[in-house]
């Protein structure tokens, strides 16, 4: 592309700068959205949750009930 004159260093720099800006803006917008509820880790995969995952889900629920104040739960959907 360089040899054919279709692209040059200035275009490359401009493209990199605009792409970086677009990615950072997208990250910033995504970080402002509420995070998915932790319980969603256990849904939408299995029709019936396997026993080991039911146990993990229960352990997570107990952990959050006991130690939830140590996590930024206000950043998550309920």
Per-residue pLDDT for the chain (78 aa), expressed as one digit of tens each?
A: 888 999 999 999 999 999 999 999 999 999 999 999 998 889 888 889 999 999 999 999 999 999 999 999 999 997
Q: What's the burial of 42, exposed, middle or buried (CB within 10 Å: 0-12/13-18/19+)? A: middle
CA atoms of 29 and 26, how far apart (whole Å): 5
The 10 Å Cβ neighbour count of residue 63 is 13
pLDDT score, position 8:
93
pLDDT score, position 45:
85
pLDDT score, position 2:
86
Domain boundaries, the chain: 1-33, 34-77
**Sign (positive/negative) of CA torsion 34, 28, 45, 51?**
negative
- This prediction has a pTM of 0.59
């Amino acid at each position: 592309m360089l040899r054919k004159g279709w692209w040059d260093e200035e275009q490359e720099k401009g493209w990199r700068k605009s792409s970086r800006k677009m990615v950072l803006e997208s990250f910033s917008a995504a970080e402002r959205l509420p995070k998915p509820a932790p319980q969603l880790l256990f849904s939408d995969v299995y029709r019936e949750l396997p026993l080991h995952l039911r146990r993990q889900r229960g352990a997570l629920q107990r952990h959050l009930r006991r130690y939830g104040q140590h996590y930024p739960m206000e950043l998550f959907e309920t």
